[in-house]
Amino acid sequence: MADHAVSGTGWSAFQGIANKLATMASIVVVARYLGPGDYGASGLVQGIGGFLVLLPPLVMGDVLIAHERHLGSVRGVARRVVLTSAIASSATIALSIPVFVGLYPKFPGSTLAALLLVFAVRPVADAFCVIPLTRLRSGLRFRVIAAIDGSVQLLATLASIAMAMSGAGALSLIMPQAVASALKAILYLATSRDPGPTSTAAVTGRRARAWGRRLRRQFVVAALAQHAHTLISNLPMLVLARISSDEQTGIYTFAFYLSVQATFVISYQVAAVLQPIFAKLGHDHERQAKGFLRVIAAVGALAVPLALLQAVLAEPLLRILFGEKWMNAVPTLAALSVGQAFFFAVAPIMAMLRAQGRFRVLLVWQLLQLVLSIGVYCLAASGGALPVAIVDTCVWGLSVPVMAWVCVRGRGVAVPEALRPVVAPWLTALPIALLSWVVWQLLRPWEYPGAAVSVFIVGPLAGLASLAAVRVSQPTTYAELAPMVSRAAGAFARLPRGAVARLTRSKP
């Protein structure tokens, strides 16, 4: 099963890599047509939507995966529950438009209303994704999921570019994603197989009703936990939009969009792969815990160097991509990128807790973090985007190691062993990132040529050095990464064969 986790994560990651390259290209184009106000409106709408969708429909898939033996019997109840909650969420968003237009007068009322109406489509579209996507995940059909997600997101990216160039403003950031959710639902349904109730696990009559009640309870708890997590993620934009200016809100939103590109490939999507794997290992707690730590270590070996390099090279990166227009976002991007070096572990942690059926633990974690951080965010927002970004990084930096330990507590894993996968990537990546920053400072007087050398030469070399450091210091983790690195290296066919072979050959 651990091999399935690595392989499935690889398929999601490689789909995500190609996808994110296209997304990065679109950000470069779109940012030339949109200003901070447009990004601020987009971030505000996503924050409002996250606040109002109390029971996110896609969470039902996680609940079903935790009870996949009974999937065929309870999917009808699940379908009714998510459709009902999704329709209620969409109606709530639409009806609350006048309230939020009044709460956020710094943003044009007509623009905010139009964006919220479009966003209201997403909960219903997501609800139709739940059952077919759950069948694909339960069947470990990660290639199909990766193909659908990648192709749909590529179309959405192209649509964003076209809309931005035609003058659609903030709508170009919201509408394509709403349409993408609906298209995914159609494609998931077309490619998933419905085996129906299995003869060994089907439940009927009184037991079916009992399962239905249990399903609803767990969905509510899990959905509220996801809602709290979404609130924590969107809280900075909501607070900035209320306390600070639309420009600062836009700077934060733009920096946030950029900061997550590198690590999103191995963050959100990895949870869809990992939870069914962890669920199948549920009978063997020790094996499940060790598999979880292996995944954290492998993902961290890639995510932490990417995030730290993104932080130290934020200035040359923005200078090359956007010129002077977005240079005010450099400190915020750097701070949020450091936060991504912690945040990468959130998706595996949440997947582990869901696979264990510990939805209450997940809810308590998110609620505590929300309550403890909301006051600090409000205080930081008076200083603009940068203080809020620093607070956000500190919040996840404190939360993630604690929850990594909670996931494996009582499962034959000592505290140092639980924390090692979170800490170890920093020991190899941080010195390389700092050295890259020193090189950029030496090249800085050459302005654009120096920025180009930093981004296109220093950055890739530092990435390769990080992989080499992992190979020396964490040979077991590198052995997990070797197949993924091999596939990625194959895409760079112009590299000398010998260099590729040396890079992808794992230690014996």
Burial 322-336 (b: 16+ CB within 10 A, else e): beeebebbbbbbbbb
Task: Say what the pLDDT of residue 504 is.
Answer: 39
Enter the tokens of residue 459.
């950055």
Task: Write out the residue range of the structural domain in which residue 431 sits.
Answer: 2-195+204-473
Give the span between the Cα atoms of 456 and 290, in whole angstroms. Answer: 37
Please name the amino acid found at residue 282.
Answer: G
**Residue 490 forms part of a structural domain:** no
Task: Say what the pLDDT of residue 278 is.
Answer: 57
**Residue 165 forms part of a structural domain:** yes
Burial 372-384 (b: 16+ CB within 10 A, else e): ebeebbeebbeeb
Q: Rounded to 10 degrees, what is the CA torsion of 247, 248, 249, 254?
A: 90
Task: Say what the pLDDT of residue 506 is.
Answer: 40
Q: Are 322 and 316 in contact (CB under 8 A)?
A: no
**Residue 92 forms part of a structural domain:** yes
**Residue 345 forms part of a structural domain:** yes
**Residue 504 forms part of a structural domain:** no
Element (H, E) at 492: none
Q: What residues contact 338, with CB distance under 8 A and at least 6 apart? A: 307, 308, 311, 393
Give the span between the Cα atoms of 232 and 222, in whole angstroms. Answer: 15
Q: What is the pLDDT of residues 192-236, one digit of tens each?
A: 765 444 433 444 556 667 767 778 888 888 888 888 888 888 889
Burial 174-213 (b: 16+ CB within 10 A, else e): bbbbbbbbbbbbebbeebbeeeebeeeeebeeeebeebbe
Give the span between the Cα atoms of 301 and 469, in whole angstroms. Answer: 10
Q: Which residue is associated with the tokens 């003869």? A: 199
Task: Say what the pLDDT of residue 45 is.
Answer: 92
Q: Which residues of the chain have pLDDT under 50?
A: 1-13, 195-203, 272, 275, 491-508
Whole-model pTM: value is: 0.77
Rg over CA atoms, the chain: 22
Give the span between the Cα atoms of 16 and 392, in whole angstroms. Answer: 25
Task: Say what the pLDDT of residue 258 is.
Answer: 86
**Residue 502 forms part of a structural domain:** no
Percent pLDDT > 70 in the chain is 79
**Residue 395 forms part of a structural domain:** yes
**Residue 68 forms part of a structural domain:** yes
CA 433 remoteness from chain centre: 23
Total domains in the chain come to 1
